[in-house]
Amino acid sequence: MDIVILQLELVSIIAICIMIGTIVFAYYKKLMMIYAIIITNFIVFVLSLAFTREIIGDLAFRPIYLSLDFFPQIYTLFTSMFLHSTSDFFHIIFNTLMFVLIAPHFEGRIGRNKFLGIYLITGVCAALFHSLLVPFLPSPIHFDPRIGLIGASGAISGVLGAYAYAYPRDKVFFPVGFFIMKIPILFAGIIFIGIQSVYVFIGGDPSIAYLAHIGGFISGVILSAALIKSRAKEEFKATTAVDQSTYYDPVYSQKPRNIDFSNLEKLATTKEQKEILKRIENETVMQVREIWLEHFLEKITCPHCNKPLNHSDGKIWCEENHFRTKY
């Protein structure tokens, strides 16, 4: 069979330039990647409304593209993540809602580079997982390798899996039934993967690639273990040690260093942060106090742009230079 030559409509090339250009611009301007991705999705979505046949036809990933005969189309593993259905507005709205609920704090935790890497890699893994495994499942899912896969849900599932593994105790707002509830991210991940698994084996909406969601989630967990496991485990041990007051021997207690609480009090905007600050002020065991202080500094945000703050050697500052103080 002859190998298919890559041919793209002009509007599809423009869409690809928007995808790459927006991400690159956000990277060099040090903007949060989640907002760059959302903006890209909506720009491409609006463009797709006018040129559905060209853009979806050229940029959607089809499992048949894994064949050597269609190898030039492998680029669609990337472009398909930024496409959404033009006949169902709920597709992009629900994906955006899920993304906004779970991603900003996670990106603040791990940084823009790791976040973008996890998003893109898990998005690709989600499409591959679906394409390679669906044909072998004894399920009612209809599989046609010529049908295109589109949407950010596989990558978003990957972010959810990575977040649930790295920081299981963090609480996020998450859709549970008809309500949005604040629950630990670990529970959100369990609920999500459970629902997707049920749909895989009993059937659901034939237009939804449930297995891609599962593949994205699993790859997110694996990437999280590889990229941020050590940092997450250290933080978990630290917060757990604080809860177990008998862990430290008073014999090794030292005089706590001076802390300027007046500056920290201005940054404590939530009830949880104020309670942590109070525990820091009252703690006499230096090791415990330092752990609580580090936990507090990880939670505070810039009073001007609401982004996570950097801290080192008694200094706190905003990456965008909106704020700077000492403690």
Chain segment 15-33, per-residue pLDDT in tens: 999 999 999 999 888 888 9
If you average pLDDT over residues 61-87, what whole number do you get?
Answer: 92
Of 230, 253, 269, at which residue does a domain stop?
230
Q: List pLDDT tens digits, range 271-303.
A: 888 888 888 887 776 767 777 888 888 888 888
The confidence band for 247, taking pLDDT boundaries of 50, 70 and 90, is: very low
pTM: 0.70
How far, in Å, CA of 148 to CA of 154, rounded? 14
For the chain, the average pLDDT equals 84
Nearest alpha-carbon partner for 108 in 189, 186, 20, 167: 167
How far, in Å, CA of 85 to CA of 83, rounded? 7
Residue showing tokens 């009993």: 202
Do 62 and 147 meet the contact criterion of CB atoms below 8 Å apart? yes
Contacts 24+ apart (CB under 8 A), 178-183: 180/101
Of 230, 261, 278, at which residue does a domain stop?
230
Indicate if the pLDDT at residue 257 is higher than 80.
Answer: no
- In sequence order, the β-bridge partners of residue 311 are 316
Percent of the chain having pLDDT more than 90? 44
pLDDT value for 303: 83
Same domain, 214 and 283: no
The confidence band for 138, taking pLDDT boundaries of 50, 70 and 90, is: low
In a domain, 235, yes or no: no
Q: Domain of 251?
A: 244-326
The total of structural domains in the chain comes to 2
How far, in Å, CA of 293 to CA of 175, rounded? 32
Q: Which residues fall within 8 angstroms of residue 140, CB to CB, at 6 or more apart?
A: 202, 203
CATH code for position 113:
1.20.1540.10
Indicate if the pLDDT at residue 91 is higher than 80.
Answer: yes
In a domain, 35, yes or no: yes
Do 101 and 176 meet the contact criterion of CB atoms below 8 Å apart? no
Same domain, 216 and 257: no
Dihedral pair phi/psi, residue 207, rounded to 5°: -90, 0
